[in-house]
Chains A and B, each alone.
Chain A
Amino acid sequence: MASITIQSITKTFGTVPVLHDIDLSIADGEFVVLVGPSGCGKSTLLRMIAGLEDITGGEIRIDGRRINEVAPKDRDIAMVFQSYALYPHMTVADNMSYSLKLRKTARERIAEAVGAAAGKLGLDPLLERRPKALSGGQRQRVAMGRAIVRHPKAFLFDEPLSNLDARLREQMRAEIKRLHKAIGATSVYVTHDQIEAMTLADRIVAMHGGIIQQVGNPLDLYDRPANLFVAGFIGSPAMNFVDGHCRSGAIETDDGSRIAVPGGIDLAEGQAVTVGIRPEHVRIVAGSGAGSYTARVDLVEPTGFGTIVHVRLLGQDLKIYTLERGAAEVGEPLHIALDGDRLHVFDRETTNRIG
C-alpha cells in the first residue's frame, strides 16, 4: 500500500500542452477518481503514474520515492485498461499469473495467489479458457483479477467499465467498490462518467482542459461546485444555468426576471453572474405567490422513478426533476419556486463560484 504524490506535473506531446501544473496527493488506501470530459488528459496523467508516458515537468512520488525515472515494471503498480489488454494467446490463469512469473515467484505461491484472486472474482470455472472465449463482463473480471493477484502498491483503472452494457457496468461498479473495501489498496480510477465518479470515489478530481478544476469528496462537488465546469459536469440531469447581472440587490436575468440574491453572497452592482440551479432543486408549488414564477410546460420526460419537466422560463429551457407523477401537463401553466439556499452563483468573468 502506498501514497502517491503528484507535484507540478506538466505534459506536452510535441509542442501541444496536455497537462498544466497538476498537484495532487493521494493518501494510502484512498480511492481517487479522475473525472472529466474525454480528451481532458485523464488517461495521460494515469499513464504517467504508471510510467507509460514520459514526464515533461514535475515529479511523481510513490511512498515518498521519486519515480520519474523508474521503469513501469519497477513501480509495483497494477493497471486495468479500457480494452482490458488481456493476452490473447494465454489462458485466463496464465494471464493472471504472468506478472508473478516475471517476478520469479515460486510456483506454489503463484497457484495460491491465482486461486485466491479467482475465488474473489468468481473466475474459477474460466481459468483454462482463452480471452476469446469469454464474454465482455468475464474479460473485465479477468483484467481485474490480473491486477489483484500480485498485491501491488497501487491500482490504476483507465475507464475499466466503458465497454460494458449499462446493467453489467452497474454490477461491476458495486463489485469494484466492494473489492476496494476488502483490499483497501490505493486506487486511481479514470472515468468520464460522473455517476461512476460519485459512487466510487473517496475523493473526486474533476479535470478539464488539462487543469484540475476541483478536488473534494463527491458530495462536496455536488453541493458546492467550485466553478461552472464542475457544476455542469456533476449531476444528472445537468444543472440549469441562467445568465444575469446584479441590479439593485437582486439578480436580473436577461429576459428581465429577478432572482433574489441568496444569503451570504456579496455582489457588486452590475456584476455579470451565472446562476445555477439543479433540476431536482426546482420546486413545483401549488399557486403563484411571492418569489414564485409561472411558466408553460414545454415537454415532459418520464424516467420511471421521476419525471423531467421542461419549461420555458428565465429565457431558458429550464429543466425540473420531480418525483411526483402527473405534476405537469404539456401546455399547462406551472408554478415554480427557487430556494435561495439551493442556488449557486458564479462569476461569469472567472466562472468561479461566489460565496
Chain B
Amino acid sequence: MTFYPAAAPPDGDRRTAKQKIAAYLEPWLYSAPVLILIVAIMLVPLALGISYAFRDIRLLNPFSGAFVGLKHFRELAGDGAFRGALVNTLWWTFSSVILQFLFGLILALLLNRPFRGRALAQALCFLPWAVPSFLSGLDWAWMFNPVVGPIPHWLYALGILSEPSNILSDPETAMWGPIVANVWWGIPFFAITMLAALQAIPKDLYEAAEIDGAGPIERFRSITVPFLAPTMAISILLRTVWIANFADLIIVMTNGGPADRTQIVASYIFTQAFRRLDFGYASAIALVLLVLLLAYSMLIVVLRQTMLTRH
C-alpha cells in the first residue's frame, strides 16, 4: 500500500535565485549613486576629520601627521578665543533665529490675508532668500560702510551713533552687522514655511469660531497657534542647528573681527583651516562643535518625548 501525501498547495514564488536577487536589488540600484556619493564624499571625510582631531596635521609642515592624542583638546580648554567663539555662537544663533522667526511669522500672517497685488508683494518679500549668501554679506557690509552706505548716516541722524561710523569695526556693535544681514536673508525661510502652514488651516474652523463668538485674538490663540505649533517647533529646531553652522556671512562681513568679537565656532574652524592651515586643530574644534550640536539635538528629542508623555 502506498501513501500519497495530501496535495500541498503550489508555492507562490518560483522565480530563480537570480531573478529574486535582481528584484531585491532594484531599489538599491536606483539609490546606489546617491549612496556612493554620500559615503565617499561626506562620510569618509567626516571620519578622516574626526581622526585629524587626534593628529598633528599642518598643511605647510611636511613632517606633521603624528598621533598626538588629546593635545588639541587640552589646548582648546585653554584657548580664550575658542571660549569667546562659543559665547558668540550662542549670541549669533539665538538672536538670529528669534528675530528671523518673529519677523517671518508676522510676514506670513500679513501675507495670509488676500489683497490686491499679493502675489507680487510675496515674491518681492521672498526675494532676499534667492540672493547668494556671500552677496548678502557683502551688500550689508557696504550698507554699513559710511563711505557708500546710508545706514551710519541714518543712525547718526537718529542720534544713535555719535558720528557716522561703521558698526562693523566697533567691537561692541560688530556682531549686529552679520545678525541684521542674516535676519534680512532668513526671514523668507520662516515666512514661507509659516505661510504654508497657515494656508493648511481649514477656513471653516475660523468661521465656526466666529459664530461661536470668538474675537480675532481668541481665534488666533485657540486656532492659529495650535495649528502652527508643530511647524514652528520643527523649523526653529532645524534652523538653529543650521545657523549655528552658518559661517558665510561672518567670514564675508567681518572675518571674525574686530578682536574676535564676531568669531563663531564655525568661522573659527574655517579660519584655523584656511588661514593657519592647521587642519588638526581645526578638526578638533569641529569635533567639539559636532558633539555640542548632537547634544542639542538629543536634548530636543528628550524634551519632546517628555512633553508628549505629559500630555
* A and B interact physically: yes
The answer to whether B15 touches A57, judged by C-beta atoms less than 8 angstroms apart, is no
The answer to whether B11 touches A57, judged by C-beta atoms less than 8 angstroms apart, is yes
Residues of B within 8 A of A (CB): 9-15, 19
In chain A, positions 1-53 with a C-beta closer than 8 Å to chain B are 7-10, 21
Interface centre among B9, B12, B13, B14 (most CB of A within 10 A): B12
The closest CB in chain B to the CB of A61 belongs to B10
The answer to whether A69 touches B13, judged by C-beta atoms less than 8 angstroms apart, is yes
Contacts of B10 in A (CB 8 A): 7-8, 57-59, 66
Complex Cα–Cα for A9 and B14 (A): 14
**Is A56 in the interface zone, CB < 8 Å from B?**
yes
7 A-B pairs within 8 Å (CB atoms) are namely A7-B9, A8-B9, A9-B12, A57-B10, A59-B9, A59-B10, A69-B15
The answer to whether A68 touches B13, judged by C-beta atoms less than 8 angstroms apart, is yes
The answer to whether B13 touches A58, judged by C-beta atoms less than 8 angstroms apart, is no
The closest CB in chain B to the CB of A48 belongs to B12
Contacts of B11 in A (CB 8 A): 57
Q: Quote the shortest CB–CB distance from B14 to chain A (angstroms).
A: 6
10 closest Cβ contacts across the A-B interface?
A8-B9, A59-B10, A55-B12, A57-B12, A69-B15, A56-B12, A58-B9, A58-B12, A69-B14, A57-B9
Contacts of B9 in A (CB 8 A): 7-8, 10, 21, 57-59
Which secondary structure dominates chain B's binding surface?
loop
Complex Cα–Cα for A2 and B10 (A): 21
Complex Cα–Cα for A293 and B79 (A): 99
Complex Cα–Cα for A354 and B31 (A): 58
**Is A54 in the interface zone, CB < 8 Å from B?**
yes
Contacts of A21 in B (CB 8 A): 9
Complex Cα–Cα for A236 and B3 (A): 51
Contacts of B13 in A (CB 8 A): 54-56, 68-69
Q: Quote the shortest CB–CB distance from A22 to chain B (angstroms).
A: 11
Complex Cα–Cα for A57 and B13 (A): 7
Complex Cα–Cα for A248 and B15 (A): 61
Contact among A7, A8, A56, A68 for B14, CB-based, below 8 A: A68
Contacts of A7 in B (CB 8 A): 9-10
Q: Quote the shortest CB–CB distance from B110 to chain A (angstroms).
A: 34
Q: Quote the shortest CB–CB distance from A99 to chain B (angstroms).
A: 23
In chain A, positions 95-144 with a C-beta closer than 8 Å to chain B are none
Contact among B12, B14, B19 for A10, CB-based, below 8 A: B12
In chain A, positions 56-76 with a C-beta closer than 8 Å to chain B are 56-59, 66, 68-69
Contacts of B15 in A (CB 8 A): 69
Contacts of A66 in B (CB 8 A): 10, 14
The closest CB in chain B to the CB of A54 belongs to B13
Q: Quote the shortest CB–CB distance from B145 to chain A (angstroms).
A: 53
Complex Cα–Cα for A119 and B10 (A): 44
Complex Cα–Cα for A8 and B11 (A): 9
Q: Quote the shortest CB–CB distance from B10 to chain A (angstroms).
A: 4
Q: Quote the shortest CB–CB distance from B303 to chain A (angstroms).
A: 33
Complex Cα–Cα for A21 and B19 (A): 26
Complex Cα–Cα for A10 and B8 (A): 13
Complex Cα–Cα for A138 and B10 (A): 42
Complex Cα–Cα for A66 and B13 (A): 11
Q: Quote the shortest CB–CB distance from B283 to chain A (angstroms).
A: 44
Complex Cα–Cα for A10 and B10 (A): 11
Complex Cα–Cα for A66 and B14 (A): 10
Complex Cα–Cα for A68 and B12 (A): 7
Q: Quote the shortest CB–CB distance from A46 to chain B (angstroms).
A: 16
Contacts of A58 in B (CB 8 A): 9-10, 12
The closest CB in chain B to the CB of A7 belongs to B10
Q: A54-B13, A58-B9 are in contact. List 6 more A-B contacts (CB 8 A).
A: A56-B12, A59-B10, A59-B12, A68-B14, A69-B13, A69-B15
Contacts of A56 in B (CB 8 A): 12-13
Contacts of A55 in B (CB 8 A): 12-13
Complex Cα–Cα for A10 and B12 (A): 8
Complex Cα–Cα for A7 and B12 (A): 10
Complex Cα–Cα for A9 and B15 (A): 17
Q: Quote the shortest CB–CB distance from B134 to chain A (angstroms).
A: 40
Complex Cα–Cα for A8 and B12 (A): 9
Complex Cα–Cα for A54 and B20 (A): 12
Q: Quote the shortest CB–CB distance from A15 to chain B (angstroms).
A: 16
Contacts of B14 in A (CB 8 A): 66, 68-69
Interface centre among B10, B11, B14 (most CB of A within 10 A): B10
